[in-house]
Structure 1
Amino acid sequence: MSKVTEKTFTLNTGAKIPAIGLGTWQSKPHEVEKAVEYALRKGYRHIDTALAYGNEAEVGLGIKNSGVPREEIWLTTKLDNPWHKRVTEGIDSSLKDLGVDYVDLYLMHWPSSTDPTDLKKHYPDWNFVDTWKEMQKLPATGKVKNIGVSNFGIRNLEILLNDPSCKIVPAVNQIELHPNNPSPKLVAYNTSKGIHSTGYSCLGSTDSPLYKDKTLLDLAKAKGKTPQQVLLAWGLQKGWSVIPKSVSKERIEANYELDGWELTPEEVKTLDGLKDRFKVCGDAWLPVKVFFGDDE
C-alpha cells in the first residue's frame, strides 16, 4: 500500500499539493511556531495559514527553525477581506511576515470585498470578480505559484467562472469539509471544473459534536484508530486534501499516522450516512451572504 503521507493531488496547473497539511487557524500565539517546526520535522510538507490569522510571522519562524528547505514545503496563505482592493499589498505583507520569496498557493479567503473603514460594509464598487482580476496578475510576478479561492459555493463560483475577465480557473477551493458538512454537490462541482477541494475544519474543530457520534466512535474503535485519524482518512479517500489544525505534538504526530491502512468502501459510506449537520464557519459576521444552503 502506497504511503498516504507521501500522497499528492495534481492541480489544474500541474502543481502537486501534498494531501495532508497542518492547519494553523485558531492556534494561540507562541504555539504556532513550535507546531509548524514540529510538523515539518515529523514529515509534513504542507502548511496552511492566512493573513487574517495574524500568525504568518510565527509560521515563518517555524519553517525557518525546522531546517527543511523552503522548496520542499507547500505553503498556502490567503488574502484577507479588507485587502481586496490591495491585492499586491496583501501578498507583499504576507511574504514579508512569512520571511519567504513566494507562496505555493494564494487564496481569496472569502468572497467578500469588505470596506476596511467599516467592516460591516461591502464595497459598493468592488466585488470578488474585481479581486480575482488582480489576483490573476500574481503568478507572472513569481510571488505566487498558484491562485485559488476559499469559502466559495456553487453560486459564487458560477458568477466568477462565467465572467469574461476570468482567465485563470482557481486551482483550489478551500472549504469546510467533514461528515457533518460534506457538501457533495459543491465538491462535485469543483471537480467538474478542474478545481481541487481542500477541506478545512476537517476534524470538525474544537469541541466538535462529531466526537460524540456513536457511529464514528464505534468505527474508530473497530479500526484501532483515533476518531481524528478516521476523519482524515475519510476526507483523503473522498479525494480532497486535508489540513487538520493542532498544536499538540501528540496530535500532530497521530494525525500523520495514516500509512498502512485505509477505510473500506462500506466504512466510507457509513460516514457519508451521518445525519447530523453543522457548520463551524458561518457567514453572519460578513457584510454579505456567501453560504446559500444549496451545496448539499
Structure 2
Amino acid sequence: MKQLTLNNGVKIPIFGFGTYEISPDQTKQAVLSAFEEGYRLIDTAQYYQNEQQVGEAVKASSLNRDEVFITTKTMTDGYEDTKIGLDESLRRSGLDYFDLVLIHWPMGHDIDTWHALEAAYKAGKTRAIGISNFNSRQTLDLIHQSSVRPMVDQIETHLLLQQWKMHEFLEKESIVHESYSPLGNGQQNLTSNPVLKEIGEKYGKSPIQVILRYL
C-alpha cells in the first residue's frame, strides 16, 4: 500500500475504506472484510454512529494497532463540546488513540473547535488533525489563528468534481488533499462511462480501477 507523508511526518495510506451509511450492526464485519482485502485506512465519524464497531473490528483483527490508520470526525461545535466529544469517541471505540481527527464540516466556532483538536493532538489522543469540507478561506482562517497547521482536508473529489483550484491551494499550504466519494456520489454512473470502459479494456482494468488510479 502506497503511503503519503503528512506535514508532521505521519504516514497515511493513499487508499482507504469509508464507513458512511454502514449500519452499526454491519460495520464490524465490513471493516474486518476490508482488512482482509488489504485496506489499512478506515474512516469513521461521530455522525456515522459506528465508531464503537470500528474499534471492535480493530481489536478482533489479526493486525497490530500500529498497522492500521483510523480516522474519525467531530460533529461538535466549540472547544468544550469538542473536547468532551473526542474523549467519548475514544471511549466508544475502545482505542487508545486515533490516527487522524477531522472537523467534519465548518460550523459557527471553527477556531475554538480546532483548538480542541490541537489540545487532543498535543496530548497524544490523535497522531494527526485536519478538516473536512473547508474551503480555502476557511482553511486560511484556521492557519492564521492556530499553532498547528491542518494536515488533511477531506473534500468531495471525483472525475466530475476534480477540485483543481482547491488542490493547488492545499499543495501550496502543505495540506494533503483527501477525497471522499471518489467514485462519484451515486448519481453520475461513472462505472458505466464508455470512455472509462475503453481505457479499462486497453489496460485490462475495470472502470473503478481506472478512476482510482487517475485520482
Instruction: Please tell me the TM-score bracket, short chain as reference.
Output: over 0.9
2:195 is the counterpart of 1:215: yes
| Residue 15 of structure 1: how far off its partner (Å) | 0.5
Larger helix fraction of residues: 2
Q: CA deviation at 1:155?
A: 2.1
Establish whether residue 108 from structure 1 lines up as the match of residue 90 from structure 2.
no
1:69 matches 2:51: no
For 1:143, the equivalent position in structure 2 comes to: 125
2:25 aligns with: 30
Q: How big is the shift at 1:212?
A: 4.0
| Cα offsets for 1:215-264 (capped at 9, x unmatched) | 223222322222211111111xxxxxxxxxxxxxxxxxxxxxxxxxxxxx
2:51 aligned residue: 56
> How big is the shift at 1:28?
3.0
Match of 1:172 in 2: 152
Relative distance call for 1:111 and 1:95 in structure 2 (3 A) is: same
Per the normalisation by structure 1, the TM-score is 0.69
Q: Where do 1:1-296 residues align within 5 Å?
A: 6-82=1-77, 85-113=80-108, 127-162=109-144, 165-235=145-215
2:147 is paired with a residue of what secondary structure? coil
Q: Based on CA coordinates, which of the two structures has the bigger radius of gyration?
A: 1
Deviation at 1:82, TM superposition (A): 5.0
With structure 2 as the length reference, what TM-score do the two structures score?
0.93
CA distance in 2 between partners of 1:189 and 1:41 (Å): 36
Mapped to 2, the partners of 1:142 and 1:202 lie a distance apart of 30
What CA distance in whole angstroms lies between the structure 2 residues aligned with 1:103 and 1:44?
17
Show structure 1 runs of 5+ residues with no match.
Answer: 1-5, 114-126, 236-296
Which stretches in structure 2 are left out of the alignment for 5+ residues?
none
- Mapped to 2, the partners of 1:62 and 1:221 lie a distance apart of 36
How many angstroms apart in 1 are the aligned matches of 2:9 and 2:112? 26
Displacement of 1:213 in angstroms is 2.6
Q: Helix, strand or coil for the counterpart of 1:175?
A: strand
The runs of 4+ residues in structure 1 deviating greater than 6 Å are: none
User: How far apart in 1 are the matches of 2:187 and 2:203?
Assistant: 22
Which residue identity is paired with 2:59? Answer: K
Q: 1:17: how far off?
A: 0.4
Aligned residues: 215
- Residue 14 and residue 32 in structure 1: after superposition, are their counterparts in 2 closer, same or farther (change >3 A)? same
Cα offsets for 1:186-236 (capped at 9, x unmatched):
01101100101111101113354323432223222322222211111111x
- Please give the root-mean-square deviation of Cα atoms over the aligned residues, in Å: 1.6
Answer yes or no: is the 8 Å Cα contact 2:118–2:148 preserved in 1: yes
Select between 74-83 and 131-140 the one with higher mean Cα deviation: 74-83
Counterpart for residue 291 of structure 1: none
